[in-house]
Structure 1
Amino acid sequence: MVNWRFIFDSDYDSRTLLNRFHEESQRLLLPAYASDEITPALPSKEVTKVALRLKYQIEKVIPCELEHSVITNPNSDVITKKVIQTAREAGGEEYRACVLFCLIVCLRWFKVQSRVELWDSSLHKCRVLACEVIAKHIIESETDREYLMREALLKRYSIFHHGEESTPVNVIERAVDLHALRIIGSSGYQKCITYLWRGWYHQDEKDPSRFIEYRERANTNYWVHLSPDRIRTPAYQNTILVFFSLLYLALFTVVINTINPSGDLDFVEGILYVMTLAYICDELTKIWKVGRYYLGFWNVINLALYALLAVSFILRMIAVTRSDSDIAKRLKFNELSYNFLAFAAPMFWIRLLLFFDIYRFFGVMLVVLKVMMKESIIFFALLFFVLVGFLQAFVGMDQADRGIPVTEGIIRGMANTIVSAPNFDVFHTLAPPFGTILYYIYNFVIMV
């Protein structure tokens, strides 16, 4: 859960950044039962020793700031084969499985240092890059696929700090948390993600810290794979999620095209609102568990959609509770309820775009679309201050010239200019020629 003290505490300084271990040592998600507690695969003290050895090695290999191309070059004179081999042997034969995890730990340490020690920020960023490059080389040079996935990438390890153990996590989780793109993009990592997505590797029911292979994946018999236990496979969960989303859209389409003038709820509308309630409860549960970091671009769209449907349902209930003698208000609230329902239609279809991100092409396009929409919001937020200045100028000219209020016409004309439909009639009459000149300036600013 979110550590609210870090948000509201005015004493949040560099010391807080260096002591964020307590935040990592708390469980954020399931399992929550004591019997499901995950224990680290190796002793945390030994894993910490390996991480410290790797940190010392990287500090010696990168003693000063370097060009990033020097570090990432395949034939680099800095990250040589001997450097990679030394890093691979940092844990010896007994603890070699935790080397990738320790490189991730070092990556985080250097990231924290780059934020705290601003005078050496570039140096620490070079060391962060070195951690990623070494980890990528180790992953891609490993020939034993089973060992790489089960021991190095999926086993959970923890470190020891100030007398406490951190929450056990694996390389797959930690690389995503730290946005280590070079590690995420390595072939071994992507193959492991594919195996998890298809359910070929899954958590052992008896030991949640261990991932086991699905033995029947090569079996061609359909009924062997039709098992309730396979419902936890991410690919199947995504299919079920898409199915219910399409059903949700179909119910909405039926409801919006079969309006009940009397205001009574029919069976299809009842299912639609029950599903909306289920989605709202699901979103609130995730926000409660994860905190404000759960809120993102798509979550905001979903919450806006559910809010509109909730308002539509409330208005419908108000209409239903009206007596037959008060038929005018009943029809008014019923119509208003359907207006809110219709207003939510674009969000229903936009919501489907979220499920296309599993395909590479659509995933890239959705990222571009999200960035463009964010930048558009920022642009209009900045444009607001410009619009207020011009609006104040036009209103001031109108009051000084005639004193006849035409504020509504001015606002409409300024809005039409933004959508490339300028109207000069209103502004020609405002304190000529100042109103006309100012409106030309306003058009120029909007076009730029």
Structure 2
Amino acid sequence: MADGNDEERAALIEFPASNPNAVTISRIVKRLRAMILTLIPIEVEQHSLTDATSRIITPAVINTFGKAAGDFQEALPFCLLRARRTFWEQAQMSPADYDEHMARATACEVLARKLVHVVSPERLNHVMSKRFRYKTWDDEESAAVSALELAIDQHCTIFLSSNEAQHVVQSLWDGEWIQNNIDDFNIEYIPYNPPHNRTVWQALNPDRMSVPRYQNWMRIFFWFFFLFVYSQTVQQPLDRLDPKHHFDIWEVLLYVQAFAYTMEETIKTYKNVRYYTWKSAFNFWLGVSFATDGLLIGAFVYRIAGIASPSHEIKLLTIVESFKYIGTMEICVSRMLQESSIFFALLALLAVGFIQAMFALDVADGASDQTGWDIINLLLQALLGSPDFTMSVAGASTFGLILFYMWNVITSIILLNILISLFSSAYADVTDHAEAEYLTFFAHKTVDMIRAPDNFVYPAPFNLIETCLIIPWEPFLSRDFYTKINRVIMTVLFFIPLSIVAIHESHLNTKKNSLIRSIFNRLEEPDGDIDEARDPPCDEPHGNISTISFEELVASFPNISQSSEESILAQIGHLKDRLDYLVMRLDLDSKEKEKGNK
């Protein structure tokens, strides 16, 4: 039997460039859906699709899907991910067939990963960055989106945890590939190949501020500076609350930075909604950012900076989330809070009923002893484990006491245990697939930094300079002169960080400097000569290493690229061939005997 990897790689090697329109993409998606429905007509277990030796998604199946798009093979990964989205939507609308549709969605994602695996390295950046449009349900063209961006929008952990996807993401993160914005909101990932032997001054390039890794370090630095400014602000004397008190330097820095961060998040969200889709723009931590910024704006209006303190440490998590441990814990927190929506929905329904009942008991005697806020506070204290049975609304009557007992039992025993089980389930789901979840999260963070079109990146709080002093001149200046002005201003503003980046890229980069690599990279480089490693020569006069060849040594190894079913079928096929040969020989012998007897 042929090697599975060879058969798989024979499916797609070149991925020729193509530019299909939205109608063509939609037709390819429909064709792929029909093929998936034929491949998986019944419900199957998801692990039978994701297994490396799957008996469903075999090399022959991958080869077949590789030919499904005809002359538009470059669009295949995108179309498969789009088909995955349609099956996922069907699963949400049809609970009875949920598992069946989710299995088909998983099959689409696995096939997209397998097909990307066979892309030649020279075409990988084009396949992952090429943006396509498709027809929506109302016959309108969708926003332009690439295979990588579509996978991120759908949280495709299987696809995004592949070596090929992570190679693209890591290259974008490190700045080895850069995003080139083309007309009509199209993009292309192109390699960044500066001269090898360049000086620090030649490496001083303001465009490198758009590299996600450098943006991340700038954000971390300025957020720690922001926390320092905030600490100084809240430690000032209380006379700052006097309306006649003038702003001091710390308050000015605090509110300027807060306004810059608010503007940065707002502009990025606006661009994502306008040019792409709202689903890629909004997430849980964006809500945290806007809530924090809203508190700071409120602090500015009321000059009460202390009300914003609890949320800054929470938002700091989104700044240092590129570290793997913090990023994984952030995913856990986000997933747990999303799962807790059931708990809060049930709690809200129960709270409304109990508040109305207890308020009715309080006014039954014709006088209202407690306000609505007192009743809400009573129920919240009981929920948090500190019930007050002495309050009149709870202990004034037997029925009021029974109601309060019921509230404590339902919330403290039933609902809180539901919340704990939801948290445990969400935590287990993340930790069981921690690597894939973090890689997906890292891909989202990287692409989110460069997705919104921005040719000149001014990290907050310097984005205020761009917005207030530079952008207003854009309509009146030529494109070349406007670009030159931006490059000069960015070089002046970011001279120190750009100098550090230039020194790192020209002299300290372990991937390009052999001396630095020998100091910091302790891993031995793999031997490139595979044939010599398999059958190494020997200088000993009285011995030889390769007395038995490598091929003979590994001949007894099992072929783990095949599933157990495939191995059994291969053995049965081999036995069938032997039996057919034996039967043929017996027939020939019998015919020869008959001729001899005659």
User: What TM-score comes out, normalization by structure 1 length?
Assistant: 0.72
Task: State whether structure 2 residue 80 is matched by structure 1 residue 103.
Answer: yes
Does the aligned pair in 2 maintain the 1:427–1:435 contact within 8 Å? no
Please state how far the C-alpha of 1:194 moved relative to its aligned partner: 0.8
Cα RMSD between the aligned structures? 3.7
Aligned to 1:210, the other structure's residue is in SS state strand
Match for residue 203 of structure 1? 179
Please state how far the C-alpha of 1:175 moved relative to its aligned partner: 1.4
Does the aligned pair in 2 maintain the 1:70–1:77 contact within 8 Å? yes
Match for residue 279 of structure 1? 261
Match for residue 60 of structure 2? 82
Does the aligned pair in 1 maintain the 2:42–2:100 contact within 8 Å? yes
For residues 356-395 of structure 1, what are the structure 2 equivalents within 5 Å?
A: 356-375=320-339, 379-395=343-359
Match for residue 152 of structure 1? 127
Distance 1:301 1:264 in 2: 30
Aligned to 2:131, the other structure's residue is in SS state coil
What code does the residue aligned with 2:350 have?
V
Of 32, 50, 55 in structure 2, the residue corresponding to residue 72 of structure 1 is 50
Does the aligned pair in 1 maintain the 2:362–2:393 contact within 8 Å? no
Distance 2:370 2:238 in 1: 41
Task: State whether structure 2 residue 417 is matched by structure 1 residue 417.
Answer: no
Distance 2:287 2:315 in 1: 11
Aligned to 2:190, the other structure's residue is in SS state strand
Match for residue 306 of structure 2? 342
Match for residue 299 of structure 1? 286
What code does the residue aligned with 1:352 have?
L
Of 111, 118, 139 in structure 2, the residue corresponding to residue 134 of structure 1 is 111
Please state how far the C-alpha of 1:399 moved relative to its aligned partner: 4.9
Distance 1:360 1:295 in 2: 22
Please state how far the C-alpha of 1:353 moved relative to its aligned partner: 0.8
What code does the residue aligned with 1:106 have?
A
Please state how far the C-alpha of 1:230 moved relative to its aligned partner: 1.0
Query: Deviations along 1:117-156, whole A, 9 cap, x unmatched?
Result: 78766554433222112122223355x3333x22322233
Aligned to 2:145, the other structure's residue is in SS state coil
Please state how far the C-alpha of 1:247 moved relative to its aligned partner: 2.2
Rg larger for? 2
Name the stretch that deviates more: 108-117 or 239-248.
108-117
Task: State whether structure 2 residue 224 is matched by structure 1 residue 249.
Answer: no
Distance 1:102 1:59 in 2: 15
Distance 1:381 1:112 in 2: 24
Distance 2:353 2:94 in 1: 42
Query: Deviations along 1:369-395, whole A, 9 cap, x unmatched?
Result: 123334556534533443444444445
Query: Deviations along 1:28-47, whole A, 9 cap, x unmatched?
Result: xxxxxxxxxxxx95343776
Task: State whether structure 2 residue 214 is matched by structure 1 residue 232.
Answer: no
Please state how far the C-alpha of 1:358 moved relative to its aligned partner: 1.8
Does the aligned pair in 1 maintain the 2:20–2:72 contact within 8 Å? no
Does the aligned pair in 2 maintain the 1:399–1:405 contact within 8 Å? yes
Distance 1:411 1:107 in 2: 46
Distance 2:257 2:54 in 1: 56
Match for residue 13 of structure 1? none
Match for residue 152 of structure 2? 176
For residues 115-130 of structure 1, what are the structure 2 equivalents within 5 Å?
A: 123-130=100-107
Aligned to 2:41, the other structure's residue is in SS state coil
Match for residue 440 of structure 1? 405
Distance 2:318 2:74 in 1: 36
For residues 19-98 of structure 1, what are the structure 2 equivalents within 5 Å?
A: 41-44=18-21, 51=29, 54-91=32-69, 95-98=72-75
Does the aligned pair in 2 maintain the 1:397–1:430 contact within 8 Å? no
Compared CA separation, residues 202 and 395, structure 1 to 2 (3 A):
closer
Q: For structure 2, list consecutive stretches of 5 or more residues without a partner in the other structure.
A: 1-16, 414-598
What code does the residue aligned with 2:147 have?
V
Q: For structure 1, list consecutive stretches of 5 or more residues without a partner in the other structure.
A: 1-39, 316-336
Compared CA separation, residues 219 and 362, structure 1 to 2 (3 A):
farther
Aligned to 2:130, the other structure's residue is in SS state coil
Does the aligned pair in 2 maintain the 1:391–1:411 contact within 8 Å? yes
What code does the residue aligned with 2:384 have?
V
Please state how far the C-alpha of 1:106 moved relative to its aligned partner: 3.1
User: What TM-score comes out, normalization by structure 2 length?
Assistant: 0.55
Distance 1:55 1:442 in 2: 51
Compared CA separation, residues 103 and 164, structure 1 to 2 (3 A):
same
Task: State whether structure 2 residue 162 is matched by structure 1 residue 186.
Answer: yes
Compared CA separation, residues 224 and 86, structure 1 to 2 (3 A):
farther
Aligned to 1:212, the other structure's residue is in SS state strand
Compared CA separation, residues 77 and 418, structure 1 to 2 (3 A):
closer
What code does the residue aligned with 1:423 have?
D
What code does the residue aligned with 2:387 have?
P
Query: Deviations along 1:252-277, whole A, 9 cap, x unmatched?
Result: 11111123615211222122222222
Compared CA separation, residues 310 and 224, structure 1 to 2 (3 A):
same
Q: Which has the higher contact order (CA 8 A, sep 6+)?
A: 2
What code does the residue aligned with 1:383 have?
L
